[in-house]
Amino acid sequence: MPNSDLSGMHIDALKEISNIGMGSALTSLAQLVQQKINMSVPNAGFYPVEKVVSLTGGEEKLVSCVSLRVLGDIQGTIMFVFEEESTYLLVDFLMGNPEGSTNTLDDMGKSAVQEVGNVLTGSFINALSSMTQFKMITTVPVFAFDMMGAVITSIMAANGRIEDNVLVIETELFQDSRKVKGNFFFWVDPDYNNILFKALGMS
Amino acid sequence: MDQAKLKEVHVGIADLGVVLRPDKLITMGLGSCVGVSLYDHVARVAGLLHLMLPYSTYFKNVDKKPKFADLGIPLLVDEMKKKGARLPCITAKLVGGAQMFSGNDEKLILNIGEKNVAAAREILKSMGIKIIAEEVGGNVGRTIILDSSDGKILIRTLGKKQMEI
């Protein structure tokens, strides 16, 4: 649920950033895997930690997660979460294997999923930069493949993101057939919320 | 025992719960978080805390005590006392504190799990509570179910057989 501190206008602006940023990111991914990949209308708002876990459905669900830090004029954390089957499909697409040939995740597979995170984040950041004129860089991605609850809370704790409410921009990603399902999260560090809003013409 | 009458109380992230025999406490998806299970074997009172971070003193805004080892553990003991537990009868078991992510980013890889476990041990020691079992570290997510009738913990991980401590 969006926090009441955020006006409809703020939420719309965040959704718009996400729309443009992820739109451009998915075009890059589509080129990489040679598959058409769509996205849902993004959600934006302040969510408690528990809600972030439930957004992606189920603490014990096996997921892969790629996370990167965004540094520069705006700082925050980016996280991609893919369900188990989607993870394997992404590996198949990237490796040029027939669909369904991957059913475990080896080191090569892990690198492939990290690379997807890298490509998506790169394009997202570039789109955000050109909208806001902000300079940003990202760190090398980190990776996990385990229970969703364990993965998400670990990233939040590592970032010191322990407030009850975290500014989250979230988008559901899926391939045309809806076989590749994933979620994109961008948590803006608290000190940078206002900078972001200002850059978008709101204070 | 009639399984249908058993109540399983869900303990969320950065939260705690206390139950009496024969109910159970469950917390899911412990990664770097630590599940502190306390048990009074005389009064049969069980308490479970799902903590995220070691010390609250590093943070300005402490909104939720159970998020931290230093505030959450004493709070859990207080809640258990309200239900009839006595400090000398309480023993502890620790589960979690894993390192979930691999990669080269020092900030994201910074081992919070290890620090959580160390803090929990220190706080329990300062309160005179003995740790009788641990299943900590590694790189797996864990779900735990604490049984208030005997203090045993069932640990579930993905792709491995469940175990009991």
pLDDT tens per residue, range A58-67: 888 899 999 9
Task: Please list the ranges in chain A whose pLDDT falls under 50.
Answer: 1-4
Residue numbers of A between 101 and 130 with CB closer than 8 Å to B: 114
Q: Which residues of A are less than 8 Å from B70 in CB distance?
A: none
Mean pLDDT of B39-56: 94
**What is this model's ipTM?**
0.83
Q: Which residue in B98, B63, B126 sits closest to A165, CA to CA?
A: B63
Residue B105's pLDDT is 64
Q: Which of A140, A148, A164 sits opposite B29 (nearest CB)?
A: A148
Structural domain harbouring B149: 3-164
Alpha carbon distance, N-terminus to C-terminus of chain A: 22
Residue A34's pLDDT is 76
Confidence of residue B35 (pLDDT cuts 50, 70, 90): very high
Which tokens go with A43? 């959600």
The Cα A37–Cα A122 span in angstroms is: 17
Mean pLDDT of B34-40: 97
Pairing of strands B90-96, B130-136: parallel
Whole-Å CA distances, A151 to A7, A62, B113, B129: 31, 10, 12, 30
What CATH superfamily classification does A8-199 receive?
Answer: CheC-like (3.40.1550.10)
Counting Cα atoms < 13 Å in the Cβ hemisphere of A54 gives 8
Question: How far apart are the CA of A156 and the nearest CA of chain B, in angstroms?
Answer: 9
Whole-Å CA distances, B47 to A2, A141, A190, B34: 33, 37, 33, 13
Residue A1's pLDDT is 34
Residue B150's pLDDT is 94
pLDDT tens per residue, range B77-95: 999 999 999 999 999 999 9
Q: Does B116 have pLDDT greater than 80?
A: yes
Q: Does B129 have pLDDT greater than 70?
A: yes
Q: What are phi and psi of A96, to 5 degrees?
A: 75, 25
Task: Judge whether B43 and B107 are in contact, CB under 8 Å.
Answer: no
**3-state SS class at B138:** coil
What HEC string does A72-102 produce? Answer: ECCCEEEEEEEEHHHHHHHHHHHHCCCCCCC
H or E element that contains B32: none
Residue A187's pLDDT is 81
**Where are chain A's structural domains?**
8-199
Mean pLDDT of B4-17: 86
What is the amino acid identity at position B154?
L
Domain tally, chain B: 1
Q: Does A53 touch chain B (CB under 8 A)?
A: yes
CATH number assigned to the domain comprising residue B101: 3.30.1330.200
Q: Please report, for chain A, how many H helices and E strands are present, in that order.
A: 6, 8
